[in-house]
Structure 1
Amino acid sequence: MSRRLPILGVLAAAVVAGLLFAPLFGTAAVLWPMLAVAVVAYLVEESILHRPGLARWRVPFTLVGGVVALLAVIPGAAQRPVSLWEAVTSGWRRTLESTWPASPVPDLVAFVPVLVLLACLIGARVLQRSRLLALLPAVVVAGLSQAYVTVTGVDAVLAGLALTACCVLVMAQWGSWARLVAALAAMAVAASTLGVALPTSSAVHLPKPSPPDSPTVLSNPLTEIAARLHSPDTVVFTARASGPVDRWPVIALDSFDGVTWTAAPKFQRLGRELPLDSHVTVPVRRQSADVALADWSLPWLPSQSRTLSVVDDKPLLVDPASGALLADQARPSQYRVNWAEPTVDVDELASAGVDPDLRSGDDLGEVPTGIDELARGIGGEVRPSFELALVLEKYLRTNYKLATGENLPTGHGYAQLNYFLLHSKRGTSEQFAAAYVVMARLLGLPARLVVGFKQPDTPSPDGTYVIRNRDVLAWPEVAVTGVGWVPLDPTGTATSTTSKGGLAGAAETVRKNLPSTKEIEREHQSEPNLPAPKAQSTHHFPGWAALLIAGGVLVVVLLLWLLGVPLAKAVRRRRRRRHGTLGAWAEARDLLRDHGIRVTPAATARDLARDSDGAVSQAMTLLAGCLDRALWSGQDSDPDREFAWSAVRKARRGLAEGRLSQRIRTTLSARSLIG
């Protein structure tokens, strides 16, 4: 069993290191393939223990067995064995291009168990020469995992303790269990302290690039609204949802240069599921819908602002910031989209402030004076809040008309917005939404423009909603604290009757009970603590955090000194015992040096005996005789090695008869280690 423990430790360390990739694919997706290759590696090593002649076949047996195990364990790998090669050559890069957790397809996930297989193979081979170096492949795998995603806090502590346990298995044949326990305590304390004290910001991550085939130039759906309204009966897509749906966003536009609204999405391959929006702190309700495309000419796909996942047989790209979906290669004919719908209390929404952390693209270019004055006049003294967003929406609803008929206005630059707001007061949802977002940002509201489709009020007999060109729509969204982006309806025609119970329904209820602007102003003046936009400030590293980290580093250094110095001396003493009498002579010299006795390079054992007294002098005299026989007797053996080491123990006991404080200082002295 003593020969198997180190092998088990090396294999277990490789599996633990591979588990640090779990945030990339999920624990189950990487655990079973790694266990499979570890079992194969152990069976090979067990066979070598019984038949040492098989050691020459270690590499081919392990590699072939590991590949067969991966083909059997990873779903879908057996149908396409070449996916394992693709995982090794490019899977690591395409995983970086994906959202996490990534889809556990063979050509992505297999690169993790392949790394573990190589770590098991190399570690088992190196184990024959050095136990400590046998753990190096597992350490390399663990370091590579941290380049993808950093493990911190409790997870880091558990990982450190697990690797420590593996190290104990590898080093389990140390001469004394006391030394083993000391090493375990030192490594465990170091792993725990570093896992808690080390700041996440110190980690160096591999950059997450966009897929190389991501499109750089895309059509802007905002410019197609008027053209679609000229053929209103054309079916665009159909949808069947599990809950209330108000609109189907296609793309969110957040940058405006005075002429064109644009977006700069950072595409990634859509993984298994997107994380929940961190800005949404209210409860959410998961919903899903089956979408079937009909006459669809855009590369963008209808989705939801808080998309979680898409079930489809074709690869898709996603912009995690906005949830916009894009067909990677061929557009799917149908797919299922899952999303999270915030459920917010009406009263909470009515009193909510805005979320300045979601503010983006505030550069509006050179705003015409008339538009700026109009915005200031509408907002009055109302502070940035959801109520102010509704005040602005109400003004557009009341004073402007939605254009219908043949001659529909087009364009959303300042020339068109100035004519719409100050002269014609007639426009499509394109002008309504663009004008709203510009004036909202002038009033301090974080807003963006979204293009998509309204869901009709009435479904087909089979419960499917048919979305046509007449349902095309542009609308503004405002970032609300705790809720995220909330869609608004400045045209007064966008909100669907099917959205009752959803976020749009809650906004409609607040809208109906909205007080007058004067009442809102008086209310805000009487509530000075109403949330306001955060001022731009420089983020400084907290002083208490710096002190905590500095304290943690000092604690680590202190623990390494208290445990590391005695441990290093114990390891050194163990190694010296292999050299018999000569090792005892080196140990005696360092022992005297740690007790403050001057030991020159030319000093002999008899010189040190004359300079000492009592038990120490007797011990050095005995060691001198053993040393003479070992050096000058001409014998190849070392018959006095045990007598020499008994003399060292006698000298140690003699030196330990001093005061307790002196013995502690001697034990912790690193003089002989660095001298």
Structure 2
Amino acid sequence: MRRRPEIDVVVLTVSLALAMLPVIPVFGARALVAPVLAGLICGAGLAVVAAHLRWGTAVTIAAALAAYLLVGPAVVGDATRGPLPSARSTVDLLTAAVTAWKQVLTLEPQLGTAGTVLAAPFLLALVGSLGALSLALRTRRAGALAALVPLAVLVVCVVLSTKVAVFPVAAGVGMVLSLVSWVSWRSGTLAPRRVVSIALVAAVVTALGSVTAPWLAEQRARFVTRDEIVPPFDPADQPSPLSAFRAFVKDWGDTDLLTVRGLPEGATVRLATMDAFDGVVWDVAGAAAAEGSGSFRRVGSEVDPLRRVGQRATVRFEAGALPFVWLPTVGWAKQVTFSGGDGALRSQLRYNDATGTAALVDGVPRGLEWTEDVVVPTVPTEPDLDRATTARVVLPKPQEVPDMVRTRAAQIAGTAGSPGLIARSLEEELSTDGYFSHGLVDRGDTPSLSGHGANRITDLLGTTMVGDGEQYASAMALMAREMGLPSRVVLGFVPDPAVAGDPAITFTGSDIQAWVEVDFAGYGWVSFFPTPDQSRTPRQDTSPQQAAADPAVRQPPPPPQDPVTAPDDDTEQPTTDDNQDRSQPSEVLLVLRRAALLGGVPTLLVLGPPLLLALLKGRRRRRRRRAEDGVRRVIGGWDEVLDRATDLRRDVPDQATRREIAVALAGSFGPAGTRPADGGRRSAGIGGPVATLAARADAVVFSGRSPTEAEVEAYWTQVDNAVGAMRRAVPRRVRWRSWWTWASLRGAR
């Protein structure tokens, strides 16, 4: 057929463009357009020129390298120092050809145009289009192999991709249909019915997957290679930040922990956010949580890609003796810049978009300085909150919540008519009726145990309330959850109003605070501060008689007769024996069954019809060969030869004698010694074997005697030899197709 190179260029280029759709979420559509288009155009142009001028492989590779270095500075990014080629851009691009792939997998999307990461899609498009079109334009027999290049590019892009898919169904179906149709056109076997058949199969498989996949997979997240390159930061490996509350006050009370400059008015400094309660501690949800406080990601050029509404500011930080991995933040961080060694520290930075919490996996070093471009949310007014509803957010369900929490929450806020009133009622009750004490008896504090688990909160709410931010924040968050409010606990620093306007604010361990956040629709997470003022302490000079004289006034508990020394650590320690997942084997089996069903149904739809045809043909052969009458078995052997010839696309004359049919088949399969068009093995000729089979069948039919068992077996042996000769005489594709055609079944003999 006549060559049409323009069709090769269009089909393969479009297929390559579809194959690169999975990397759009990695770089962003706007950043990806220029390098991909440039790579496809350069690769296609070089392939056409190289085919026309008959360049050798070495010259073509050299031209591709030159195009990469000449065009790369204009489309790769700002690290190449301008759009024109230079010595710096050459070094950067050559280095990026090796290192960009690692950067794409280890930096968190969206990567944008930072550095030389765009060298990866540019190089992939350039090499892919050059390789595919070179195969298609410069070779005839192997030209169809060019269809494998877009598939290889697709595999690479999937490896580099994220959990977000871009038009996967439409792109996949369009790519497969275009490539299969193009390969058929190249080989001269294109037929409209084949395109329609492939489209129908694709539609069935797509529809089946769309309906069953969400149910079978239970909306599980996709496996992503970038999550496996470096073990993801798992906050479950860190101790509960709230459990360190008492240590901040006791061990680091006079130690400078953090200096903040440029803190907006009314803003707080966040250290950690906890939304998971296991009955013992509030903690940051583990990395297995799909969302919430445990989903930390590596950070690229932009920290928080979401568009937040609020006051924009630039805040500068200097770390003192911060004791853990949590990096202080203000509001929602848009960009974090470290002073000195930015690259090394950025590789350790992890950020949670749902809580605005950041962490350095190796800890926050003393003296570290960094700058954050932040957005501080606007605090809604009380009337606004009274009209607001709670937001729909998925949080880990609290475990082992004591009954006292439910009882007290109903007593305090049972009559509140809105989520805002419920939250304010809980905050007011705890902050006005409770008493403050860190429990450091040696420093003159009223005894108060540390910890914030179920037992400690039961003691707090069951008697006169005495505690600090650790207990009050835990109690309010649990009561808010019981009242249906999405709540979480925050550990951080709140500037004293007296120093809020200072250009530099230094926080020590004694400034540590804990508060509660509740998520309201339209306003986001709103802070509530249930801890009583530090000046509100139990009166030590009130005697029991004086307290009894006025029963209408709630009196603090009398001091104990024997001093109670508060423990240094939490009195409640979690146990791991009861938390073992005993259902693991059954869950594994369930996943395996669902995976088998998910893969088995489409496979059955695609391979079922061919397998059914093969089974029917095998059953027909066995029935003929095992017939009770020897004459019928011989006739069955002759019919088997005719059916195999029909499946091999050779016409068998109707209303003709066996000898006439033998002559016709000998002519249709070609003379002895010919070679099939696809270069298969030479045929030894079938005229003699088929003529012999026809003569012996006539002799058996017209002789009037039944053949012996040995004669029947010998006849079927000659049938197998004749069928083998017929198969060797046809092209390879016809041989393969004969296994799956139903031509001989339509006119059953």
**TM-score normalised to the size of structure 2?**
0.57
Kept after mapping to 2: 8 A contact 1:237/1:294: yes
Kept after mapping to 2: 8 A contact 1:8/1:42: no
Kept after mapping to 2: 8 A contact 1:91/1:109: no
Tell me, which stretches of 5 or more residues in structure 1 are unaligned?
Answer: 278-282, 495-545, 562-595, 613-619, 638-668
Kept after mapping to 1: 8 A contact 2:309/2:375: no
When residues 379 and 301 of structure 1 are mapped into structure 2, their CA distance, relative to the original with a 3 A threshold, is same
Matches within 5 A, 1:467-616: 468-469=507-508, 472-480=512-520, 484-491=524-531, 599-601=642-644, 608-609=652-653, 611=655
When residues 607 and 107 of structure 1 are mapped into structure 2, their CA distance, relative to the original with a 3 A threshold, is closer
Q: 667, 672, 675: which is aligned to 2:743?
A: 672
Kept after mapping to 1: 8 A contact 2:259/2:506: yes
SS at match of 1:357: coil
When residues 385 and 37 of structure 1 are mapped into structure 2, their CA distance, relative to the original with a 3 A threshold, is same
- Match for 1:247: what amino acid? T
Q: Identity percentage over the alignment?
A: 18
Q: 304, 319, 326: which is aligned to 2:352?
A: 319
SS at match of 1:611: coil
The reply to whether residue 335 of structure 1 matches residue 372 of structure 2 is: yes
Q: 148, 152, 157: which is aligned to 2:170?
A: 157
How far off its partner does 1:477 sit?
1.9
Q: 452, 459, 463: which is aligned to 2:492?
A: 452
When residues 362 and 174 of structure 1 are mapped into structure 2, their CA distance, relative to the original with a 3 A threshold, is same
How far off its partner does 1:474 sit?
1.0
Matches within 5 A, 1:352-391: 352-353=389-390, 355=392, 357-364=394-401, 367=402, 374-375=408-409, 377-380=411-414, 385-391=419-425
Kept after mapping to 1: 8 A contact 2:645/2:651: no
Work out which structure has the larger RCO, using CA pairs closer than 8 Å and 6 or more positions apart in sequence: 1
Kept after mapping to 1: 8 A contact 2:308/2:332: no
Kept after mapping to 1: 8 A contact 2:278/2:398: no
The reply to whether residue 428 of structure 1 matches residue 451 of structure 2 is: no
Kept after mapping to 1: 8 A contact 2:106/2:229: no
How far off its partner does 1:393 sit?
1.6
Q: Distance in 1 between matches of 2:97 and 2:489?
A: 43
When residues 272 and 105 of structure 1 are mapped into structure 2, their CA distance, relative to the original with a 3 A threshold, is closer
Kept after mapping to 1: 8 A contact 2:336/2:370: no
Alignment-derived partner of residue 30 in structure 1: 32
Matches within 5 A, 1:645-664: none
Matches within 5 A, 1:76-155: 76=79, 78=89, 80=92, 81-88=94-101, 90-91=102-103, 93-95=105-107, 98=108, 100-102=109-111, 104-106=113-115, 108-127=117-136, 128=139, 129-146=141-158, 148-149=161-162
Deviations 1:409-468 (A, max 9, x none): 67334576566555563443333212323444455544321012225658888x967464
Q: 420, 430, 450: which is aligned to 1:411?
A: 450
Q: 264, 267, 270: which is aligned to 2:296?
A: 267
Q: What is the aligned length?
A: 536
How far off its partner does 1:341 sit?
6.2
Q: Distance in 1 between matches of 2:410 and 2:177?
A: 64
How far off its partner does 1:372 sit?
6.4
Q: Distance in 1 between matches of 2:391 and 2:415?
A: 16
How far off its partner does 1:276 sit?
7.6
Tell me, which stretches of 5 or more residues in structure 2 are unaligned?
Answer: 81-88, 287-293, 535-593, 610-638, 678-739
Alignment-derived partner of residue 327 in structure 2: 301
Kept after mapping to 1: 8 A contact 2:412/2:426: yes
SS at match of 1:337: strand
Q: Distance in 2 between matches of 1:168 and 1:378?
A: 71
Kept after mapping to 1: 8 A contact 2:132/2:149: yes
How far off its partner does 1:17 sit?
0.9
For the aligned residue pairs, the C-alpha RMSD in angstroms reads 5.5
Task: Kindly name which structure, 1 or 2, has the bigger radius of gyration based on alpha carbons.
Answer: 2
Q: Distance in 1 between matches of 2:421 and 2:256?
A: 37
How far off its partner does 1:162 sit?
6.2
**TM-score normalised to the size of structure 1?**
0.62
Kept after mapping to 1: 8 A contact 2:334/2:373: no
Q: Distance in 2 between matches of 1:670 and 1:274?
A: 59
- Match for 1:611: what amino acid? Q
How far off its partner does 1:24 sit?
1.6
When residues 143 and 449 of structure 1 are mapped into structure 2, their CA distance, relative to the original with a 3 A threshold, is same
SS at match of 1:322: coil
When residues 11 and 410 of structure 1 are mapped into structure 2, their CA distance, relative to the original with a 3 A threshold, is farther
Q: Distance in 2 between matches of 1:41 and 1:162?
A: 19
Deviations 1:77-135 (A, max 9, x none): 536443431233x345415xx3x324544565544444444433543454324344312
Kept after mapping to 2: 8 A contact 1:375/1:442: yes
When residues 85 and 625 of structure 1 are mapped into structure 2, their CA distance, relative to the original with a 3 A threshold, is closer
Kept after mapping to 2: 8 A contact 1:33/1:69: no
Matches within 5 A, 1:273-292: 273=302, 285=309, 287-292=311-316
SS at match of 1:20: helix
Kept after mapping to 1: 8 A contact 2:28/2:110: yes
Kept after mapping to 2: 8 A contact 1:154/1:195: no
The reply to whether residue 397 of structure 1 matches residue 431 of structure 2 is: yes
The reply to whether residue 205 of structure 1 matches residue 223 of structure 2 is: yes
Deviations 1:1-32 (A, max 9, x none): 82243144324422331132101221233332
How far off its partner does 1:323 sit?
2.7
SS at match of 2:671: helix
Alignment-derived partner of residue 521 in structure 1: none
When residues 332 and 236 of structure 1 are mapped into structure 2, their CA distance, relative to the original with a 3 A threshold, is closer
SS at match of 2:350: strand
